[in-house]
Amino acid sequence: MEGDSEIRLWIDSLSLSFGGVRALDEVSMEVKDKEILAIIGPNGAGKTALLNCINGFYKPQKGEIYFDGQKITRMRPDKLAKVGIARTFQNIELYRGLSTQDNLMAARHALMGQNFLGGAIYFGWALGEEIKHRRIVEEIIDFLEIAPIRKKTVGVLPYGMQKRVELGRALALEPKVLLLDEPMAGMNQEEKEDMARFIIDVFEGQGETYPDTPVLREGVGCIILVEHDMGVVMDIADRVVVLDFGRKIAEGSPSEIKSNHKVISAYLGQEIEV
């Protein structure tokens, strides 16, 4: 791993147990710069547990995680957000009583540099910083095509729109690594196509269309995607890692994974449908 500038995230022999249940068993993998890596596997395979370790919610009993050469294995989630790791959740974790706009602004607060006194007085530099963050939030709202719901309370929004707002909140953290935990779960086909388009667009970057928001202008460094929809995985992933009972059983390109006998066996002996 040392000296390889292409590797953004390196996971080395990660093991995680809850009592007598082993959620992850010696899992190792690398995520390269400008890569969409999909993690697939049956229910209970350890996919979300792996994201929770990367994100700092779980502390593994064994193994290490490195981000841009820095060990991050036991860093707190708020510290990881500041160094450039953001995520969405399988079960939506928005502030349901706040508006769409306020949910995105809440994420921006993690990046604000004003002290308590400056924020309380609210003038000069503190006011300028607030305006800057609001410009970024408005660009994210425009990118995700959610302007009509910007003032609406997220708790009353349709499920698909809540998923879109949650993606917006992750983008508001200006991530270098974006962790997406089943971003299309529960969506209809049209909503899935929209979400896939947003993921690809934010990965590739949109240039000067969004001048105030680096993550939209330049794109995300890499994306780790946990997803059950194999059609989506095969369409947008560069590489795929397969977990089963907490162990990595396969890794390769989408076409290699589709025909891998271990993977087919893990999915109840059926061919992976795309």
Q: Where are the domains of the chain?
A: 1-84+221-274
Among residues 237, 142, 110, the alpha carbon closest in space to that of 180 is found at 237
User: Residue 140 in contact with residue 171, Cβ under 8 Å?
Assistant: yes
How far apart are the C-alpha atoms of 167 and 225, rounded to whole Å? Answer: 12
Whether the pLDDT of residue 61 is over 80: the answer is yes
Q: Give the 3-state secondary structure of residue 16.
A: strand
Q: Return the top range by mean pLDDT from 62-76, 79-93, 111-125.
A: 62-76
Determine the distance from the C-alpha atom of residue 167 to the mean position of all C-alpha atoms in its chain, rounded to a whole number.
8
Write down the pLDDT at residue 273.
53
Q: How confident is the model at residue 226 (pLDDT cuts 50, 70, 90)?
A: very high
Task: Pick the range with the lowest mean pLDDT from 129-138, 139-148, 239-248.
Answer: 129-138
Q: By CB neighbour count within 10 A (0-12 exposed, 13-18 middle, 19+ buried), where does 138 fall?
A: middle
How far apart are the C-alpha atoms of 254 and 259, rounded to whole Å? Answer: 9
> Distance between the two ends of the chain, CA-based, in angstroms?
34
- Please state whether the predicted TM-score (pTM) of the whole model is above 0.85: yes
Q: Which two tokens stand for residue 185?
A: 């779960």
Per-residue pLDDT of 31-40, as tens digits, reads 999 999 999 9
Query: What's the rounded mean pLDDT across residues 219-233?
Result: 93
Among residues 222, 179, 216, 171, the alpha carbon closest in space to that of 34 is found at 222
Per-residue pLDDT of 145-184, as tens digits, reads 999 999 999 999 999 999 999 999 999 999 999 999 999 9
Candidates 3.90.180.10, 3.40.109.10, 3.40.50.300, 3.40.190.10; CATH matching 1-84+221-274: 3.40.50.300
Whether the pLDDT of residue 127 is over 90: the answer is no
Whether the pLDDT of residue 115 is over 80: the answer is no
Share of the chain above pLDDT 90, in %: 71
